[in-house]
Structure 1
Amino acid sequence: PPPPPLCGAVLLEGCFLGEYLGLLPLLLAVLFGDPGGSGTPVRAGAGAGMWLWEEQGGLLGPFSFILLLLLLVTRSPFNACLFTGSLYLLLRLFSFEPLPSRRALQVLKPRDRVSAIAHRGGSHDAPENTLAAIRQAAKNGATGVELDLEFTSDGIPILMHDNTVDRTTDGTGRLCDLTFEQIRKLNPAANHRLRNDFPDEKIPTLREAVAECLNHNLTIFFDVKGHANKATDALKKMYMEFPQLYNNSMVCSFLPEVIYKMRQTDQNVVTALTHRPWSLSHTGDGKPRYDAFWKQSVFVVLDVLLDWSLHNILWYLCGISAFLIQKDFVSPNYLKKWSAKGIQVVGWTVNTFDEKSYYESYLGSSYVTDSMLEDCAPHF
C-alpha cells in the first residue's frame, strides 16, 4: 500500500523502519530545503537515503540521524519534525560564522608549508611554558608555540599547564591558593631534565609570553583549560594591545564553552576545538579512569556522545577554523572530511621522526610536538 500522506497529524503506528527511511528525505526537504549549503536540492526516491548520508560539508547528516532517531522513539512525524526543526533553527540562530579560510592558513601555515608547533613551548627541549622554552623553540626552528593559560589566586594570567605547581616547580599547592607574588618565587625548571641549563627561569605572565613570541615571530596557540570568562577577558586585552595577534595566533580548548565565549567576545579571533577520543573515560596513556565498571561505562557512553557532538554540531556552533586532535586518529580520509567543511586539522602530540615525516610529506598537515630536536615520549 502507498505510504500515508506527509502530515503532522498522522501517527505511523504500524510503520516499519524501511518506511521511515523512505519518508526521511521528504521530511528533511520540508525542514531544511538545502541545509548543506551545496546549492543542490534534497532528492527523494531511489538512492536518496544513501545520498543523504554521503552529503559533505553541512548539517544534513547529523540532522538526518537526529530526525530518524526521533521518528523511531516518538513514532510521530509531527513531533520529530518539530523537535528537529527547532534544534536546527536554534543552531542557525546562535552559531557563529567561521572566519575566511585564508585567516586560518595564516596561523597554521604562515610560511605556506606545514607548521611544527612546540607543545608548551617544547617541553622536552626546555622547561615548559617558560620564556626560555619560547626562545629555544624559535632557535630550534619551530613555526609556533602552544602555551597554556592559567590564573593565580589574585587573577593574574600566567603560563601553567596544571592546576597545581607540584609537577613542574620546586613548590607545592593549587594555583587558586597562590598569589602571583608567591608564584613568581618558584622555579619552573626545578623538575626538568635540563634544569641545570636554565637556572634563572620564572613563571611568566601571559603578556610576557606574548611579547616574547612576537619578538621571535612565532605563531601562538593559546590553550585554555577553563575559566572561560576570565580567559576570554585576558585574551581580549592581549589582542587589543597586540593587534598582530589576529593574524598569527589561535585560541584552542577542549571545552566548547571557552571557544564559544571567545567568539562572543571577539569574532575576529581564529579558534579551534581540541579533542582526544575517549578522554572522559581513559587517561592519556590509555588507562581507564575509574575502577567501578558502571562508572567507567557511563563515561564511555559520554565519550561517544561528546565525539559525535564535536564532529557534527559543535564545530558549526562555534564557527571554528581548525580542529586539534590526538595524532593517532588523523588519516587522509579524516583530513578530507574536515576539509570539506573548510576546517584545518592539527595533530598532537607528534614526537618521532617517522611521525613528523608522515605528517609533513604524506598528510601535509601541521602538528604539535614536544621536541624540535629528537624523538621523545609524549607529555600528557
Structure 2
Amino acid sequence: MLQLGDEVTLYSLVFVLALLGTRSPVWSTVLTTSLCLFLAMFRFPLVATSRARQVLHPVAGKVSAVAHRGGGHDAPENTIAAIREASRNGATGVELDLEFSADGIPILMHDETVDRTTNGSGPLSKMSFSELRRLDAAAKHRFRSKFVGEKIPTLEEAVKECIKLQLTIYFDVKGHPDEAAAALTDMYKRYPVLYNSSIVCSFEPKVIYRLRQSDPEVLTALTHRPWSLSTLGDGTPRFSSVWKHHWMTMMDILLDWAHHHLLWKLCGVSAFLIQKNFVSQNYVQYWAQRGVEVVAWTINTKVEKEYFQDVLHINYITDSLVEDCEPHY
C-alpha cells in the first residue's frame, strides 16, 4: 500500500509547483485537492498479494527466471519453438511481445516490422496474418538451421503452449491500448487459468490502465528504463540537437517521478519491471514497502543471475537460460 509519507510528499510537491506557477494559494489548494480526488476516484487497487505472489513465484520461495521473448538467444524469439526451448532449459516463465497484423489478429512480434527476425520485409500494419504466416521466423537466428520454417504464432497459440508447459506468461504490450485490452480480456475469459499464471506489462501506462478498466482482476506491471526518452539503452544521446536532448532529459525526470509516485498507484500495479542498472537493495526495499515487486531486465551473465537471485532475491528476465550472452537494452 502507498505509504503516508508518499501521500504527503506527492501532494506537497503538487501544491508547491502550483503555487510557483499560479502564485495563488487558492488555486494551488484547488489543484492539489483535485488531484487527491482524482486518485481516490479513478485509481485501481492492487490485486491481492497472495495472488500476485502465486503468479510471480509459482515455485514458493524461489526466484523466477523468465525467458525474454521466449529466450531469443537460445531459439527464434517470440515463437512456439522458443517457448518449448525455454521450458526445456528450466525457465519458470516467458516474456512474450503482443502485436497485431494488419487484419487485427493478435500475434507475437517485438518490432513494428518483420525485417529483423524473418525472411520478409515490411511493417506489420501493412501485412495480413496470412502473409505473416508464410514467413520464416527463424530466418535471421543463429540456430536457423535447427528451427527452419518456424512460424509467427498467434497470441492464442502461444497461450495454449504456455498453459500446457505450465509456464508463467509475462505479456509485454507495446501499444494499441484498446486492441490489446480487448484481445487480452478475451484470452483471460477463455483461459481463466491465466489469472493465476500471467501478468501484463507495458512501458505505456495507458495500456495498463485501459486493461484494468476492461478487467480489474488481471495482474499488471509497469516497465521502465530511466532516461529512455533522451538516451538509447547504452547511454548514447538519442538526439543530436543539444536543445532537444536537454528538453527530453527534463521530460525523463518528470516521467521517472510520475512512475515512482503517481502512475503505479493510479494503475494499481503489482510489479515494476526495470532495467538492471538501476536496481539495488534499497530500490527493491522501496517498492516492497509499497506492496510491489521488482523484476529486473535483461540479465544475461551467470554472475548477474547469481546476484539477482542470491543477493537481491528478485525475479529476472534473461535472453538465455544456458549461457552468457551480449547485454540487451
Bigger shift: residues 293-302 or 153-162: 293-302
Q: 2:218 corresponds to which residue?
A: 269
SS in 2 for 1:195: coil
Is it true that 1:78 corresponds to 2:26 in the alignment? Answer: yes
Q: Which of 155, 160, 182 in structure 2 is aligned with 1:211? A: 160
Q: 1:371 corresponds to which residue?
A: 320
> How do 1:20-169 and structure 2 match up within 5 A?
55=5, 58-112=6-60, 113-169=62-118
Amino acid at match of 1:368: I
Q: Give the Cα–Cα distance (whole angstroms) in 2 for the partners of residues 359 and 63 of structure 1.
A: 34
Is it true that 1:243 corresponds to 2:192 in the alignment? Answer: yes
- What is the total number of aligned residue pairs between the two structures? 328
Please report how far the alpha carbon of residue 78 of structure 1 lies from its aligned counterpart in structure 2 after TM superposition: 2.0
Q: Is the 8 A contact 1:36 1:60 kept in 2?
A: no
Q: 1:18 corresponds to which residue?
A: none
Q: Which of 177, 188, 192 in structure 1 is aligned with 2:141? A: 192
Larger radius of gyration: 1
Stretches of structure 1 lacking an aligned partner (at least 5 in a row):
1-34, 39-54
Please report how far the alpha carbon of residue 75 of structure 1 lies from its aligned counterpart in structure 2 after TM superposition: 3.5
SS in 2 for 1:251: strand
Amino acid at match of 1:214: I
Please report how far the alpha carbon of residue 37 of structure 1 lies from its aligned counterpart in structure 2 after TM superposition: 6.4
**TM-score, normalised on structure 2?**
0.97
Q: Give the Cα–Cα distance (whole angstroms) in 1 for the partners of residues 278 and 3 of structure 2.
A: 28
SS in 1 for 2:192: coil
Q: Give the Cα–Cα distance (whole angstroms) in 1 for the partners of residues 104 and 24 of structure 2.
A: 52
Amino acid at match of 1:266: D
Q: 2:259 corresponds to which residue?
A: 310
Identity of aligned residues (%): 56
Deviation string, structure 1 residues 68-104 (Cα, Å, up to 9, x no partner): 2223443432221111111111111111111111111
Name which structure has the greater RCO, CA cutoff 8 Å, separation 6+: 2
Amino acid at match of 1:349: T
SS in 2 for 1:187: coil
C-alpha RMSD over aligned residues: 1.3
Amino acid at match of 2:242: F
Q: 2:120 corresponds to which residue?
A: 171
Q: 1:51 corresponds to which residue?
A: none
Q: Is the 8 A contact 1:348 1:368 kept in 2?
A: yes
**TM-score, normalised on structure 1?**
0.84
Q: 1:16 corresponds to which residue?
A: none
Please report how far the alpha carbon of residue 59 of structure 1 lies from its aligned counterpart in structure 2 after TM superposition: 2.2
Q: Give the Cα–Cα distance (whole angstroms) in 2 for the partners of residues 202 and 73 of structure 1.
A: 55
Deviation string, structure 1 residues 218-251 (Cα, Å, up to 9, x no partner): 0000000000111111111110111000000000
